[in-house]
Amino acid sequence: MLFPMDKKIFSFGLLCLVLSGVGAIQVTIPQSLYEFARGDNMILPCSFTPKNPIGPKQIVVIMWSALSPDVDPQSILTYYYNPDPSLDIDSGYEGRASLDVNVLQGKADLKLLSLTLADNKTYECHVQIQGDSTGKPVAITRVMVLVAPSPPICKIQGTAEYGQDITLSCASAEGSPAPTYKWDRRNVQNISVPQDPKTTDKGGILSLYNISSDTSGLYICTSANKIRSGTCSLTLSVMPSSMTIGIIGRAVTFLSFLIVVIFCFFRKNRNEKKYAMGACEKVQYHTKELDKNGESRHCQDNTLSYENLSVRSPED
């Protein structure tokens, strides 16, 4: 519980704190995020309002820095207003960075030429004014350099055989913001069909489990961000395992050999039968000429004997 005197002291202290904040320096950047295409020239606006008007001999220092996670801040440039205006640019930004500055108007805009993916960072504008150390002397913003995804590359990892687990990978070498990936499966009619419920699709990696002939098809991956999209595809043909193919191959070879043996056996018997029939007809022809009584000899059971070929004497 506050007594009346304590309330007055508390109110006075709070008023002094508010007034000190109002009268202190304020540095601002209008937006928390700026987006530029790769290769563009950017301007990051930074404005500041001092507690008091800046005098002709008052020292003012303006610094722009780039911030990256787990890396110390990197100075881009430093501007000194007094005693003699000068600008120091870090060697890594020479030829690219400049400052559009007007101290009396509270303007300190950073210019950076030919943006690359390496410029995807957080940027800090820091203003120091002699005799004006309270308030908000720092403002930050984020820069995103936009780059369309490069053409993605699709790959198969694993052996496309029955019962195996394989993965289909899809990746673009670059893209900002980082591209997202989506796999689509199509049948022979080029119609999209759903994936197997056990299939997982995460970060461009499509995992297929216990694959079979039903897993075969055309797989299309789309890599996309807010700039553009690109695709790659591959045809997956799931085959029996090499062991299964070996067994089938041996079985086919044995069956072929068996067919050849049977064919040769029947062909041989057929030729022997034809030969026997031909020999019989020839014997019949000669015995008719030699048989004195006009009787002809006949073959019995496709077997010839020497008796059929003998000639009777006149005394018989």
Indicate if 126 and 229 belong to the same structural domain: no
CATH number of domain containing 32? 2.60.40.10
Contact 208, 165 (CB under 8 A): yes
Indicate if 34 and 130 belong to the same structural domain: yes
Q: Parallel, antiparallel, or unpaired for β 25-28 and 47-49?
A: antiparallel
Lowest mean pLDDT among 40-44, 68-72, 288-292: 288-292
The two three-digit tokens of residue 85, written as one number:
């205006």
Which of the listed residues 219, 236, 253 is the one where a domain comes to its end?
A: 236
Q: What is the rounded CA–CA span in Å between residue 307 and residue 295?
A: 14
Give me the numbers of helices (H) and strands (E) for the chain, helices first please.
2, 20
Q: Give the domain range for residue 290.
A: 242-309
Q: Indicate whether 86 belongs to any domain.
A: yes
Residue 186 has pLDDT above 60, yes or no: yes
Largest CA distance in the chain: 177
Tally of domains within the chain: 3
Indicate if 39 and 140 belong to the same structural domain: yes
User: How large a percentage of the chain has pLDDT more than 70?
Assistant: 70
Contact 167, 207 (CB under 8 A): yes
CB atoms within 10 A of CB 77: 20
pLDDT at position 3 = 45
Give 304's pLDDT tier (boundaries 50, 70, 90).
very low
Q: Indicate whether 314 belongs to any domain.
A: no
Q: Going along 130-211, which residue ranges are E strands?
A: 135-136, 138-146, 153-157, 166-171, 180-186, 192-193, 200-202, 205-208
Which of the listed residues 184, 216, 236 is the one where a domain comes to its end?
A: 236
pLDDT tens per residue across span 223-270: 999 999 999 999 999 999 765 455 455 555 656 666 766 766 676 666
Q: What's at 262, amino acid-wise?
A: I
Indicate if 96 and 185 belong to the same structural domain: no
Residue 312 has pLDDT above 90, yes or no: no
Q: Indicate whether 183 belongs to any domain.
A: yes
Q: What is the rounded CA–CA span in Å between residue 216 and residue 235?
A: 8
Residue 309 has pLDDT above 70, yes or no: no
Indicate if 200 and 278 belong to the same structural domain: no
Which of the listed residues 236, 253, 283 is the one where a domain comes to its end?
A: 236
For residue 277, the SS3 value is: helix
The answer, as to whether pTM is greater than 0.95, is: no
Contact 71, 180 (CB under 8 A): no
Q: What is the rounded CA–CA span in Å between residue 294 and residue 170?
A: 98
Instruction: Give the mean pLDDT of the chain.
Output: 81
Indicate if 161 and 70 belong to the same structural domain: no
Indicate if 43 and 134 belong to the same structural domain: yes
46-72 average pLDDT score: 93
Q: What is the rounded CA–CA span in Å between residue 288 and residue 294?
A: 7
